[in-house]
Chain A
Amino acid sequence: MSSLAQSAYSDAHLWITRQYNRLSLKRRRTIIGYIFILPFILGFFIWFLVPALVAANLTVHRWNLISPPRFVGMFQFNKMLSDPILAQSLKVTFIFSAISVPLGLIFAFFLANLINTKVRGIAIFRTIYFLPSIVPAVANAILWAWLFNTEFGLINFVIRAFGGPKIGWLQDPNWVMLAFVILTIWGVGGSMIIFLAGLQGIPQIFYEAAEIDGAGRWQRLLYVTLPMMSPIIFFNLVIGFINSFQIFVSALLITNGGPQHATLFLVLYVYRTAFQSQKMGYAAVLSWLLFAILMLLSFIVFRYIGSRVYYENPGD
């Protein structure tokens, strides 16, 4: 049996080798090339295209994971348009994004400039500024829930020590957004390092030329640093927007969407709809909505901001 299998195998091998040798060099390279990228192609179909189509099909069905899906037509799309919780969720997600992304970008840029100086022990400062960004998300959420604790948290302690009021950071819908912005900005270390690398890539000679022309500190920042950094600022902007739309762990663990849905960000709402209310069909609708929003935002960002970016080697 085994020798039969062996000879069958070697016959097949021989046949394939012969066919392969008959091919032109160009064809062979094509086959080998596709073998290399095959894992990605398969993955694209299995883990991306098929799920996306299944989800598209599910948007017109109602399904609770247990009983078979039931066709409901456009019902869930109509529901989406008149869902007050979804409106709230979109509102808080947009507000969060609109505040945290620009602030985070400015802060990261500012820190990168700070740590781009030649001071003894600068490596220690770089490490300290970077460390918050690698704290595991769950631990980070617990830490900040404790820092923002109304009665015993450190933040209220400092505010009260300076004579300020006791703020209900996580209980007051008006304050909770600021709390989330603060904890997000604490972790800007990643974009800061990207900015730092960009700053160090600017040839010193540009600054010298500007200085000879009489440019001061601010002018050098405005007319040398910012234009040279624009591709990196743009990159961090795109990444920042996408990350801000995905905020989930802290919203789930710190406030669980509350108070009064003030932190019910979009991904958390999708997660709840799918896995707590078991409304898979509606969750699929929401996923497609999230996808559409992100595509639209990326388009706007690339169209209106991307075109203003300065690239030294276009098309590289």
Chain B
Amino acid sequence: MGFKEKPSQFVESRRVANSRVDVFYRWLTLFLLVFFAVIMITPFIWLLSSSLKTQINIFQYPPQLFPDPVVPENYLYALTYKPFGIYFRNTVFVAGMNVIAVVFTSSFCAYGFARMRFPGRDFWFGIVMATLFLPYAVLLVPSFIIFSRLGWVDTFLPLVVPPFFGGGAFNIFLMRQFFRTIPEEIADAARIDGCSEFGVYWRIMLPLSKPALITIGIFTFLFAWNDLIGPITYLRSPDNFTIAVGLASFRSQTDIHWDLQLAASTAVTLPVILLFFLAQRYFIQGVVMTGLKG
């Protein structure tokens, strides 16, 4: 690795000759980095700043960049105006069940696809790949018909049960790719010691796949936390709302209370950003895994 990155002598000398151009590009890069950082971060600052303004100050032109006076009470009003505590509990339940489902069943199926050899395996893996790029908007109406026949509308079941069946093509695919990087010799050693295939999966593969499992767990949690279209389709009574539905209905009911809407939005975004900083490594790894190991 080391010698690959070190440029050869010849290139080094050319670099010196080009140094003035290099310095220019260096400054240009730095300028662009800062410029786009400002553009990307300004909406966040605007969100935070507006969420701390009074109702009067928020409708002011030109707008105040920094709120004066600062009104942290907005958060209290916003989060008690609607029972966000209940929404939070519901969301954690739905997201938690999804994480459990995805982590265990997608790895279980992936083990079959990655490590077992049997007729029909490639056919079924082909079906996994075919459903990989199928957006769930396509299945919105068909699934709703099934769930309404089952009498599951206005329960958490439509959001919580389906992930237990394989945990989604994407996660199966990712886990399969990850399992294939683990040396088969480890599993063979366990088999010689009398371990069954299920034992190999449970005692060898799962413990070795912790980073991948954490990654898909985090992404599943995020997806469930952020998802609106699923909950808004199935959940009817306010007691069952998740945070996303609660926030959407909060918006429709507090039309011009931008201060409260923005405070609630900030409050909903904060846990996600916190999660990001706690598990940054897994986020990046997850995005990269989804993109590259094809």
Chain A contacts to B: CB under 8 angstroms:
29-30, 32-37, 39-44, 46-48, 50-52, 54-55, 58, 65, 111, 114-115, 117, 119, 122, 125, 127-132, 134-139, 141-144, 146-147, 149, 151-152, 154, 157, 161, 186, 190-191, 193-194, 197-198, 201, 203-205, 208, 211-212, 217, 231-232, 235-236, 238, 242, 245-246, 248-249, 252-253, 267, 270-271, 274-275, 280, 283-284, 286-287, 290-291, 294, 298
Complex: A42 Cα to B135 Cα, angstroms: 19
Are B166 and A40 in contact, CB atoms less than 8 angstroms apart? yes
A127 & B139 in contact (Cβ 8 Å cutoff): no
Please state if A186 and B262 are interface contacts (CB–CB under 8 Å).
no
- Contact sample, A vs B, 8 pairs, CB 8 Å cutoff: A36-B201, A39-B109, A51-B139, A65-B148, A119-B30, A152-B59, A245-B137, A280-B145
| Contact A138–B244 (Cβ < 8 Å) | yes
Whether B70 sits at the interface, judged by CB under 8 Å, is: no
- Tell me if A205 and B4 are in contact (CB < 8 A): yes
Are the CB atoms of A51 and B145 closer together than 8 Å? yes
Our count of residue pairs bridging A and B at CB distance below 8 angstroms stands at 270
Beta-carbon contact of A36 and B112 below 8 Å: yes
Q: List, in ascending order, chain A residues with CB within 8 A of B225's CB.
A: 136
CB distance from B57 to the nearest CB of A (A): 10
> Would A208 and B37 be within 8 Å (CB), given that A37-B112, A198-B292 are in contact?
no
Q: How far is the CB of B82 from chain A (nearest CB, A)?
A: 13
**Which residues of chain B have C-beta atoms less than 8 A from A139's C-beta?**
247, 265-266, 268-269
With A125-B33, A253-B248, A284-B141 in contact, is A136–B164 under 8 Å at CB? no
- Would you give the 0/1 interface string for B145-169, flagging 1 where the beta carbon is closer than 8 Å to chain A? 1101000000000000010111100
Are B292 and A197 touching (Cβ within 8 A)? yes
Q: Give B residues with C-beta under 8 Å from A.
A: 4-5, 7-8, 10-11, 14, 25, 29-30, 32-33, 36-37, 40-44, 46-47, 50, 58-63, 105, 108-109, 111-113, 116-121, 124, 127-128, 131, 133-135, 137-146, 148, 162, 164-167, 172, 197-198, 201, 222, 225-229, 233, 243-244, 247-248, 251, 258, 261-262, 264-266, 268-269, 272-273, 276, 280, 283-284, 287-288, 290-292, 294
Cβ-defined contact, A287 with B142, below 8 A: yes
Majority secondary structure of chain A interface residues (helix, strand, loop or mixed): helix
Task: Give the nearest-CB partner of B128 in chain A.
Answer: A40
- Please state if B291 and A198 are interface contacts (CB–CB under 8 Å): yes
CA distance A298 to B130 in the complex (A): 11
Q: In the complex the two chains form, is B141's CB within 8 Å of A194's CB?
A: no
A274 touches B25 (CB 8 A): no
| CB atoms of A154 and B40 under 8 A apart | no
Complex alpha-carbon distance, A252 and B251, angstroms: 11
Which A residues touch B44, using CB under 8 A?
131-132
List chain B residues, Cβ under 8 A from A50. Answer: 146
Q: Which residues of A sit under 8 angstroms from B164, Cβ to Cβ?
A: 39, 43
- Considering the complex, give the chain B residue whose CB is closest to the CB of A123: B280
Q: Among A152, A212, A238, A248, find the residue whose CB has the most chain B CB atoms closer than 10 A.
A: A152
Smallest CB separation, B197 vs chain A (Å):
5
Given A152-B60, A270-B141, A275-B233, A37-B40 contact (CB < 8 Å) = no
Select A154's contact among B37, B42, B166, B292, beta carbons within 8 Å: B42
Partner of A44, one of B127, B138, B273: B127
Contact B140 A146 (CB under 8 A): no
Q: Is the CB of A125 within 8 A of B140?
A: no
Q: Which residues from A are CB-within-8-Å of B198?
A: 32
Given contacts A33-B117, A136-B272, contact A142 B292 (CB under 8 A): no
Question: B265's contact among A138, A238, A280, by CB below 8 Å, is which?
Answer: A138
> A51 touching B63 by the CB < 8 A rule?
no
Q: A48-B131, A51-B139, A129-B40 are in contact. Are A114 and B33 (CB under 8 A)?
A: yes
